Chains A and B, each alone.
Chain A
Amino acid sequence: MSSDPILDVDTLVIRYRAGLFAARPKPAVNGASFRLEKGETLGIVGESGSGKTSLLRAILRLLPVESGSIRLGGQDWLALKGEALRQHRQRIGVVSQNPFLSLSPRLTIEDILAEPMLAAGARPGSAMRDRIAGLLSDCGLPADFLGRRARELSGGQAQRVAIARALALEPGLLILDEPTSALDVSVQAQILNLLSDLKESRSLSILFVTHNLKVVAHISDTLLVMRRGDVIEFGRTEDVIHAPAQAYTRELLSFGRK
Chain B
Amino acid sequence: MPLLDIRNLSVSIPTPDGDVHAVRAVSLEIERGEIHGVIGESGCGKTMTGMAVLGLVPKGARIAADRFHFDGEDLSDHAGRLRGRRIGLISQDPAAALNPVLSIARQMDDVIRAHRSLPRKARRAEAAALLAATGLPDPEKVLKSYPHQLSGGMQQRVVIAQALATGADFLIADEPTTALDVSVGAQVLDLLRRLVAERGLTVLMITHDMDVIAEACDRATVLYAGRSVETGPVAGVLKQPGHPYTRALLAALPDAAPPGARLAAIDGSIPAPRSVITGCAFAARCPQAMPLCSAEPPPERRRDAHRWLCHLPEDAA
Interface residues, chain A, with chain B CB atoms under 8 Å away = 47-48, 154-155, 184-190, 192-193, 196, 211-215, 217-219, 237-238, 241, 248, 251-252, 255-258
Cα distance A190–B253 in the bound complex, in angstroms: 11
**Do B260 and A47 have beta carbons less than 8 Å apart?**
no
Give the number of A-B contacts (CB < 8 Å).
Answer: 84
* Contact of A214 with B41 at beta-carbon distance under 8 Å, contacts A185-B210, A238-B259, A257-B214 already known: no
Interface residues, chain B, with chain A CB atoms under 8 Å away = 41-42, 152, 181-184, 186, 208-212, 214-215, 248-249, 252-255, 257, 259-260, 262-266, 269
Shortest C-beta distance, A88 to chain B (Å), equals 30
Q: Which residues of A contact B257 (CB under 8 A)?
A: 218
Some 28 contacts from A to B, beta carbons below 8 A apart, are A47-B181, A47-B182, A47-B183, A47-B184, A154-B269, A155-B42, A185-B252, A185-B253, A186-B248, A186-B249, A186-B266, A187-B265, A189-B252, A189-B265, A190-B265, A192-B254, A196-B262, A211-B182, A212-B254, A217-B259, A218-B254, A218-B260, A238-B259, A241-B259, A248-B183, A252-B183, A255-B186, A256-B214
**Do A251 and B254 have beta carbons less than 8 Å apart?**
no
Cα distance A256–B214 in the bound complex, in angstroms: 5
Cα distance A213–B260 in the bound complex, in angstroms: 14
Residue from A186, A237, A255 in contact with B215 in the complex, judged by beta carbons closer than 8 Å: A255
Cα distance A190–B264 in the bound complex, in angstroms: 8
**Do B210 and A48 have beta carbons less than 8 Å apart?**
no
* Contact of A258 with B214 at beta-carbon distance under 8 Å, contacts A193-B263, A217-B255 already known: yes
Shortest C-beta distance, B243 to chain A (Å), equals 14
Interface of A, secondary structure class, is helix
With both beta carbons as reference points, the residue of chain B lying nearest to A180 in the complex is identified as B254
Cα distance A193–B266 in the bound complex, in angstroms: 12
**Do A218 and B249 have beta carbons less than 8 Å apart?**
no
Q: Which residues of A contact B182 (CB under 8 A)?
A: 47, 211-213, 252, 255
With both beta carbons as reference points, the residue of chain B lying nearest to A156 in the complex is identified as B269
Shortest C-beta distance, A128 to chain B (Å), equals 31
Q: Which residues of B contact A190 (CB under 8 A)?
A: 265
**Do A219 and B260 have beta carbons less than 8 Å apart?**
yes
**Do A185 and B41 have beta carbons less than 8 Å apart?**
yes
Q: Which residues of B contact A155 (CB under 8 A)?
A: 42
Residue from A48, A189, A241 in contact with B181 in the complex, judged by beta carbons closer than 8 Å: A48
With both beta carbons as reference points, the residue of chain B lying nearest to A155 in the complex is identified as B42
Q: A184-B41, A186-B41 are in contact. List 6 more A-B contacts (CB 8 A).
A: A47-B184, A187-B265, A192-B263, A211-B182, A214-B211, A256-B215
**Do B214 and A185 have beta carbons less than 8 Å apart?**
no
**Do A184 and B215 have beta carbons less than 8 Å apart?**
no
